[in-house]
C-alpha cells in the first residue's frame, strides 16, 4: 500500500493533499550516540488482576418475547463493554452457578468463590419490557466483603435504547472498580472518513461499531476528523465538488449543525487537531510561495495563522500534548518521515523516533505517557502500529500480520486505540486494547479511514 506520506509528496506537485493527529510532556532524549534505536517487537501483554463475573440478567416477572430479546442485547453489550475495558479478568460463564441471580437475595456468595471462579466482584440484575416502558435493575457486589457497590433502577420508554443503557451501566462499573482511573469508553464515539461512491463523507459510530450516522453529506472529499475536548465540535478538511481548494471546517455536533471555516494560508490544508482547551487548531498547510507544508496554529477566529515550523521539508500530522504545551508531528527533514516534537510556540525542536523507516500519524495518549504512531520498516510496504513511552523512549510494537495498519488514535482513558487496516482487503476501522490484544473490526461497508476517538461522553454519578 502506498502510504499517506508518499501520497502527500506526490500530490504536493498539485494544489491538493492531506494527513492526521497527536500530543507530550517531558520527552525522551533526542538521538542516542550509538545510532538508531530498534523497536521492541514484543507486543506488551495485557495485565488484569481484578476478577469480575457478569451473570446473565433475567426477566423480573414474565419472560415475554420482547423481554427476552431486550435481555439478550443487554447481556451481550454489557459483557463486551466490560471485557474490552481491559480492567478485568472475566471467567467463562460455563463456570457460573446454574441458579439465576435476579435480586440480591438470590446471591449465594460461596458459589462465586469456588476455585474455578473465585471472583472479586459480581454483576447481576433483572429486566422487564411492558407496554409503556423498560425497567432494568442492575447490581454490583463485592463478593469478598458481600457488600453492595452499585444498585440502580433504570426506566426507559422502549427497548430501542437498551444498548445505550448497557453502555452507561458498563461505564459506571469501570469508573467504580478502576478507582476513577477511567470513566469507561462504552459511550464514546469514533469519527471516520468513508468512501461510498465518488465522495468521502464523515461518519460517527458508537465505539463498538453500532449506530452509524452521517456528519457530512456534501458530495465532496471530507477527511481527517478531530474532536474538540468537549465533543461538541469536529474539525476536518473538505474539498467540495468542482473546487480546487481544500478548506478547514469546524462543525457543531449538536442540534444546529453549524459550520465555520478557519482561514488558512493557501489552497492546501490537512490534519487538523484541536488543542486540549479547544481554543486553537493545529494543522498542516502549505505556506504562501512554498512547495512544502508546515505546521500552523490558528484560533478559530484567526485571520493569520502562525507558522511554527517554516522549513523547506514537509511537516505534517500535528498532535497536541495533554497540557497543550507541546506538539508532536511528522517531518522528513532528517531524510525520511520521522516523529518530532516542539513546544507549542515552535521552539525547542527535537526528534523522538530514530529507528529510520517511515513514521506516520503520531497521537499522544491523554495521560501523556505514550505516543502511538504507524511505522513502515525499511524496504517494507506495510505499516504497523507502535507506541513510544515518552519518559524512557522505549518503543513497543502492537500489531503484526497481514495488511497495513495506520492512523492510530487513543481512547479518552489511554487504554485503547482505534486504527485503520487493510487486513480484510479494504480499508476498515478496528479498535484494540493498548497492549495490542482484543482487536475488533467496527466497520465493514465502504472504504474507511482516518479514525478519531471522542473524549468521554458519560456522566459519572457519585
pLDDT tens digits for range 122-161: 999 999 999 999 999 999 999 999 999 999 999 999 999 9
Same domain, 148 and 168: yes
Please tell me whether residues 442 and 340 are part of one structural domain.
Answer: yes
What is the pLDDT averaged over residues 65-76? 97
Domain that holds residue 419: 4-44+185-453
- Tell me, yes or no, whether 117 and 189 share the same domain: no
pLDDT of residue 48: 67
The pLDDT value recorded for residue 301 is 73
How far, in Å, CA of 419 to CA of 451, rounded?
A: 6
- pTM, two decimals, is 0.89
CA angle 361, 286, 231 (to 5 degrees): 50
Residues whose CB falls within 8 Å of the CB of residue 416, separated by 6 or more in sequence, listed in order: 84, 86, 185, 410, 431, 432, 433, 434, 453
Q: How far is CA 369 from the centre of its chain?
A: 16
Cβ atoms of 377 and 38 within 8 Å: the answer is no
pLDDT of residue 3: 47
Query: Phi and psi dihedrals of 287, rounded to 5?
Result: -70, 165
Over range 240-244, report the average pLDDT: 93
Mean pLDDT for the chain?
Answer: 89
Q: Is 460 helix (H, G, I), strand (E, B) or coil?
A: coil
Quote the pLDDT of residue 428.
98
Boundary-marking domain end, from 161, 177, 193 = 177
165 within 8 A of 74, measured Cβ to Cβ: yes
Picking from 185, 90, 210, the residue whose alpha carbon sits closest to that of residue 412 is 185
The answer to whether residue 462 is domain-embedded is: no
Q: What are the CA-CA distances from residue 427 to residues 11, 163, 224, 359 (Å)?
A: 20, 27, 15, 19
- Residues 124, 262, single domain; the answer is no
| Distance from C-alpha of 203 to C-alpha of 248, rounded to nearest angstrom | 17
d(CA 358, CA 375): 6
Same domain, 54 and 136: yes
Q: Does 461 fall in a domain?
A: no
Does residue 458 fall inside a structural domain? Answer: no
Residues 57 and 192 in one domain: no
- Helix 162-177 to helix 65-84 angle (10° resolution) is 40
The span from the first CA to the last CA of the chain, in angstroms, equals 49
Decide which of 116, 151, 177 is a domain's last residue: 177
Cell numbers standing for residue 251? 462543525
The count of other CB atoms within 10 Å of the CB of residue 267 is 16
Looking at the structure, tell me whether residues 96 and 196 fall in a common domain. Answer: no
Please name the residues in contact with 429: beta carbons below 8 A apart, sequence gap of 6 or more.
190, 192, 205, 209, 418, 419, 420, 441, 442, 443, 448, 449, 451
pLDDT average, residue stretch 354-360:
91
Rounded Cα–Cα distance for residues 313 and 331 (Å): 7
Is 360 contained in some domain? yes
219 shares a domain with 335: yes
Q: Indicate whether 325 belongs to any domain.
A: yes
Could you tell me which residues come within 8 angstroms of residue 400 by beta carbon, excluding any fewer than 6 positions away? 43, 384
Q: Poorest-confidence range of 35-49, 360-374, 396-410, 414-428? A: 35-49
Q: 343 and 441 share a domain? A: yes
Of residues 37 and 241, more confidence is placed in 241
In a domain? residue 239: yes
Domain shared by 70 and 148, yes or no = yes
DSSP 38: P
Residue 410 sits at the vertex; the CA angle it makes with 232 and 8, to the nearest 5 degrees, is 90
pLDDT number for residue 219 = 96
User: Would you say residue 68 lies in a domain?
Assistant: yes
Integer Cα distance of 427 and 223 in angstroms = 14
Q: Decide if pLDDT at 46 tops 90.
A: no
Question: pLDDT category, 41, cuts 50, 70, 90?
Answer: low
Is 300 part of a structural domain of the chain?
Answer: yes
Q: Is the pLDDT of residue 34 over 50?
A: no
DSSP 53-96: EEPPPEESS---HHHHHHHHHHHHHHHHHHHHTSSEE---GGGS
Please tell me whether residues 95 and 19 are part of one structural domain: no
* CATH number of the domain residue 413 falls in: 2.120.10.30
Q: Does residue 40 sit in the same domain as residue 61?
A: no
Count of domains forming the chain: 2
Strand partners, 373: 386
Last residue of a domain, one of 177, 194, 220: 177
**Residue 168's domain is classified under what CATH number?**
3.40.50.10070
* Residues whose CB falls within 8 Å of the CB of residue 25, separated by 6 or more in sequence, listed in order: 321, 322, 323, 325, 326, 368, 390
- Top mean-pLDDT range of 13-22, 37-46, 299-308: 299-308
Amino acid at each position: 500500500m502506498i502510504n499517506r506520506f508518499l501520497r502527500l509528496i506526490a500530490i504536493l506537485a498539485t494544489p491538493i493533499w492531506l494527513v492526521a493527529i497527536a500530543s507530550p510532556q517531558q520527552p525522551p532524549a533526542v538521538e542516542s550516540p550509538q545510532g538508531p534505536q530498534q523497536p521492541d517487537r514484543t507486543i506488551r501483554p495485557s495485565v488484569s488482576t481484578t476478577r469480575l463475573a457478569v451473570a446473565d440478567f433475567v426477566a423480573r416477572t414474565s419472560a415475554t418475547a420482547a423481554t427476552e430479546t431486550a435481555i439478550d442485547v443487554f447481556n451481550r453489550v454489557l459483557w463486551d463493554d466490560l471485557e474490552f475495558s481491559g480492567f478485568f479478568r472475566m471467567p467463562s460463564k460455563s463456570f457460573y452457578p446454574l441458579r439465576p441471580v435476579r435480586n440480591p437475595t438470590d446471591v449465594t456468595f460461596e458459589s462465586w468463590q469456588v476455585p474455578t471462579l473465585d471472583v472479586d466482584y459480581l454483576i447481576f440484575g433483572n429486566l422487564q419490557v411492558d407496554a409503556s416502558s423498560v425497567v432494568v435493575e442492575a447490581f454490583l457486589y463485592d463478593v469478598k466483603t458481600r457488600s453492595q457497590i452499585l444498585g440502580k433502577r433504570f426506566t426507559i420508554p422502549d427497548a430501542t435504547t437498551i444498548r445505550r443503557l448497557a453502555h452507561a451501566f458498563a461505564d459506571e462499573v469501570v469508573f467504580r472498580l478502576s478507582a476513577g482511573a477511567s470513566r469507561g469508553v462504552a459511550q464514546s464515539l469514533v469519527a471516520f472518513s468513508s468512501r461510498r461512491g465518488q465522495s468521502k463523507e464523515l461518519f460517527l459510530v458508537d465505539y463498538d461499531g453500532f449506530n452509524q450516522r452521517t456528519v457530512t453529506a456534501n458530495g465532496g472529499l471530507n477527511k481527517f476528523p478531530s474532536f474538540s475536548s468537549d465533543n461538541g465540535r469536529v474539525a476536518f478538511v473538505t474539498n467540495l465538488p468542482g473546487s480546487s481548494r481544500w478548506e478547514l471546517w469546524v462543525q457543531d455536533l449538536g442540534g444546529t449543525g453549524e459550520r465555520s471555516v478557519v482561514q488558512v494560508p493557501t489552497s492546501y490544508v490537512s490534519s487538523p487537531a484541536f488543542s486540549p482547551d479547544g481554543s486553537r487548531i493545529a494543522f498542516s498547510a502549505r505556506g504562501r510561495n512554498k512547495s512544502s507544508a508546515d505546521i500552523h496554529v490558528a484560533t478559530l477566529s484567526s485571520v493569520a495563522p502562525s507558522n511554527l515550523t517554516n522549513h523547506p521539508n514537509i511537516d505534517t500530522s500535528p498532535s497536541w500534548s495533554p497540557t497543550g504545551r507541546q506538539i508532536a508531528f511528522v517531518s522528513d527533514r532528517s531524510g525520511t518521515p520521522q516523529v518530532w516534537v516542539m513546544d507549542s510556540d515552535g521552539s525547542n525542536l527535537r526528534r523522538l523516533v530514530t529507528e529510520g523507516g517511515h513514521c506516520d500519524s503520531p497521537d499522544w495518549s491523554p495521560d501523556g505517557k505514550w505516543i502511538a504512531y504507524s511505522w513502515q520498516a525499511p524496504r517494507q510496504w506495510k505499516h504497523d502500529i507502535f507506541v513510544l513511552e515518552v519518559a524512557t523512549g522505549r518503543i513497543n510494537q502492537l500489531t503484526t500480520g497481514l495488511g497495513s495498519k495506520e492512523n492510530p488514535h487513543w481512547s479518552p482513558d489511554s487504554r485503547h486505540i482505534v486504527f485503520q487496516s487493510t487486513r480484510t482487503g479494504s480499508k476498515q476501522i478496528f479498535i484494540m486494547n493498548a497492549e495490542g490484544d482484543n482487536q475488533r473490526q467496527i466497520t465493514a461497508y465502504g472504504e474507511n479511514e482516518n479514525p478519531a476517538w471522542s473524549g468521554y461522553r458519560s456522566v459519572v454519578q457519585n
